[in-house]
Structure 1
Amino acid sequence: MATFAVRDGRLVDPDGEPFLSLALNHVDETNLKFPYNLDIWRERYGSRERWIADGAVADLRNWSFNTLGWTQEYVAGGWGEALDWFGDPIDLKHSTPWSAAELRGAGIPYVAQVPVQEIEDWNNYPAFRPMDPAHGGDDFAVWCDYLARSIAAEHADSPDLLGYFLVDIPAWLPHASGADFAELRGLDPAERERQLYDVASRYYETIVTAIRRYDPDHLILGDRFNGNKGIPEPVLRAMEPFVDVLSVQYFTEPTEESRTQLRADLARWREQCGGKPVIVADVGNWTPTELNPHREGLPDHAARGVDYGAALDAVRNEPWFAGWHWCGYVENTGGRGWGVKDPWDEPYRDLTDAITEHNRRALAQHGKD
């Protein structure tokens, strides 16, 4: 079966043509089921199936997105303190991802999520489960096999699956809570850095071997690294034999300096993991809104549209650039001010019109390469 693949360092579609993945993340219908907008959801959709077809997928196509991104949505848990993932970890709550049947039935390229370890930077209750049998990790391979047969087996024959993401901003750098893998606990920083390669190698080898047991063909998109915080080189070297794409979340400031730094950081990390194509796995901007007037950011949605294009332009000419996954879809009460639709299911037209234009330009250029 033909699938999305990497050829000569470039992402290609099942027909072998260059593919630039332009996605929306956090596409979740419960953002339209609050008391203040539930009537709108009932009148326009009335069922999840209709919302997927006539709402989410129709919007993606109308705005020239060609991929359904990471579907989990932030729900609650002190977002303001966790915005940059640098402070104390918090107990963020997230929605349930779309089911395999829903993803496959959407009729658009999509990504699947494989939650290997609960080691997210934002997680106040991380679970760094042992992976080395010498440290009590005998069950890790069993857990990975369960994940693979419960997730990958459901997608193995899907022509629309782009690939598998692993953990959302995993704490390969020391976690703020002090938790760490058993193999790394108590080590000084230099020794931890030396041992990190072996730990990461075991992590990637175990989960990817399990996925390949049930799905030998689709791409492994890897962890969604936190680029703003940094990525340890030993982890990038460890993932090289197992992961097909480098996936990095990276939120830029609306300045040329910040956008230049984005391009430079991605190019450097790409070289450290063997020259893989790069997906910017989560990127966004924001402005004060009616629901979230406290949100600091750009002055208005037109400025958001300009910034969208400028940030995309910073990387879209790079031969390794493979994807741009935008955060997010419908604005909610959690303080997230970066939806492309307002809480009443209406697009922020000054933003979505600009997004559509920038996406079309990027796709046209990419198709000529």
Structure 2
Amino acid sequence: MALSRVWWARATFWGSAVTPGPFVTRRLQLGCSGLVWGAPRSSKLHLIPKADVKSLVSYVVDKTKVIHEKYHRFLGRNFPRFYVMYTIFMKGFRMLWADAKKARRIKANMWKQNIKFHQLSYRDMEHLRQFSRDVTKCIFIGIISIPPFANYLVFLLMYFFPRQLLVRHFWTPKQQTEFLDIYHTLQRQSHPEILTCLEMTIPAISDAGLRWHLTEVCNKIHHGTQPAVNDILALRECFSNRPLDMNHLQTLQLKALSRAMLLTPHLPPFLLRSRLKNHTTVIHQLDKALAKLGIGELTAQEVKSACYLRGLNSTHIAEERCRTWLGEWLQISCSLKEAELSLLLHNVVLFSTNYLGTRR
């Protein structure tokens, strides 16, 4: 910079435009603009075309499918029993995951539309009810798998006790029929005790007509006769007051009814009563939604599942018979008020014990 000032001073003094030397010019360039390192870079980026990306993804997906099919053939050829278990497990996991996504979508719609459970459609209500039971069993499996290396023991237990530890998605078709029969047998074991409790409470009923009606219904069941819809509805007042209303049932009755509804009886009486109330209320809400939808809109599997939930072993009954029974059940359920739900709870025994010779 000092040399440049000297040069300008000399040029001004002598009045001539002296061309600066190369050294001075270089210093001036350094002082004014600095050095330029290399040629300017281009701002354009070299991107892979979208068509190439799609073809690459398609290629990877196709190769993955081929490898997956080869792996399945290898398992089926060399380990047939393990392959059956593996297939059932993967299929069950996909079904359970699909149920979880559907339940989440239903819950989100309930929150957005600000609606309650009983305002849902029948299929949405039934899906949430069944999924909550499945999740309860899955949570239990998750809890016992927490300790170190406990997951190996859990897999062994699931293999030997699939009915107790696995949800229905992981059962084979043969196991589904077998396990449903076992559950229904457990239900029926509580029926005599429930009928005995009803007969013991007959003298405590103040109305003579109600005592006669209840005695007739119990006698019909003991003699293998199916009570009619009108026979059951005649007992509405009997089950809405002491001693058979929901709030005055004895502990033995609560335990027996819990077994009939496939609920654990090993809880304090107030919890048993609360669970039975909630369970019966849900069935009543399902019945109202089903009556609104119409039984004719249900598939064969949905009809059988609905009958089984209400105490009828529908696995060995024809579809049309199941539809007839379900229609009669809805006539009873939709005629009941909230205070009469104890009759709906007992109807699991009263209306299913002798239907079409299902009593064994």
Q: TM-score range by the shorter chain?
A: under 0.3
**Structure 2 length-normalised TM:** 0.23
**Higher relative contact order (CA closer than 8 Å, sequence separation 6+):** 1
Where is the strand percentage greater, Structure 1 or Structure 2? Answer: 1
Q: Which has the higher helix share?
A: 2
